[in-house]
């Protein structure tokens, strides 16, 4: 099975499959795996290769829910998915292992690409591109979840429950993310605060990295820390934000 990404040179991109769909459907999973291995070797040697076998394995796994096909896809593509995870700028802020996000990415991919939606992915490249998006999303979601706790007032209670020092799943279900972040944006005073909040809580960046990226906005790393501390202090006292999280 071949690692084919849209960003690769045209000579390295997968060609259109030359195998008839009917032929692919009649092959056993074992045969498909064998052919995928061969095509993968051809791909890495820069030779013409056929992505149809790989795409059919994905179809077996996602449409027919074939466990053997899914097991091979997971095993074969895990190194690629982990490389995507580790290239994410937010990965170092998560405190998690690459393996953790590999499982999360495949889980998200499995749930999203239902049998009904598989037709929206007519090529191997489109499937891999979506898998790459899933890998990036699970890393960002992890950083957002960890950062959410910093925005919550520690004394927030509901029906005698413990303080919300971690993201409360019920609250997150009730407060649409777009609505939440739109409201947060209205509470920020200037570009410096917006840059600090976005890069800290969405991208998972550290103050030093934020300063390096926007030295035009800050006199030094210390100012980034001060802006972040002031914003968090203001938000923790915001009654409307408390109300939204207590719904």
pLDDT (0 to 100) of residue 64: 93
Domain positions in the chain are 10-139, 152-246
**Residue partners of 124: CB distance under 8 A and separation at least 6:** 2, 4, 14, 51, 54, 55, 58
pLDDT per residue as tens digits for the range 196-205? 888 777 666 7
User: 12-36 pLDDT, tens per residue?
Assistant: 444 556 667 778 888 888 999 899 8
* Band of residue 136 on the pLDDT scale cut at 50, 70, 90: confident
- The stretch 85-93 carries a mean pLDDT of 80
pLDDT above 80: residue 180: no
Residue 39 has pLDDT above 80, yes or no: yes
**175 and 244 Cβ atoms separated by less than 8 Å:** yes
Contact 6, 123 (CB under 8 A): no
Alpha carbons 66 and 61: distance in angstroms, whole number: 5
pLDDT level of residue 8 (50, 70, 90 thresholds): very low
Q: State what percent of residues in the chain have pLDDT above 70.
A: 74
Mean pLDDT of 199-228: 84
pLDDT band at 83 (very low <50, low <70, confident <90, very high): very high
């Amino acid at each position: 099975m071949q690692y084919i990404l849209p960003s690769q040179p045209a000579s390295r991109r997968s060609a259109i499959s030359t195998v008839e769909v009917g032929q692919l459907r009649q092959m056993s999973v074992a045969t498909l795996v064998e052919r995928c291995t061969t095509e993968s070797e051809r791909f890495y040697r820069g030779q013409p290769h056929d992505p149809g076998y790989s795409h059919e394995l994905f179809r077996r796994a996602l449409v027919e829910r074939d466990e053997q096909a899914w097991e091979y896809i997971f095993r074969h593509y895990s190194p690629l998915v982990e490389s995507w995870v580790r290239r994410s700028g937010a990965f170092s802020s998560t405190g998690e292992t690459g393996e953790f996000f590999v499982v999360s990415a495949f889980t998200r991919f499995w749930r999203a690409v239902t049998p009904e939606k598989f037709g929206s992915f007519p090529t191997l490249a489109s499937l891999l591109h979506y898998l790459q998006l899933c890998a990036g999303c699970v890393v960002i979601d992890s950083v957002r979840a960890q950062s959410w706790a910093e925005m919550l007032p520690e004394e927030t209670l509901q029906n005698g429950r413990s303080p919300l020092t971690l993201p409360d799943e019920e609250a997150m279900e009730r407060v649409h993310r777009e609505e939440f972040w739109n409201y947060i944006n209205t509470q920020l005073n200037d570009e410096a605060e917006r840059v600090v909040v976005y890069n800290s809580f969405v991208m998972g960046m550290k103050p030093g990295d934020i300063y390096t990226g926007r030295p035009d906005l800050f006199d030094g790393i210390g100012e980034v820390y001060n802006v972040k501390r002031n914003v968090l202090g203001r938000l923790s006292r915001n009654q409307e934000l408390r109300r939204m999280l207590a719904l």
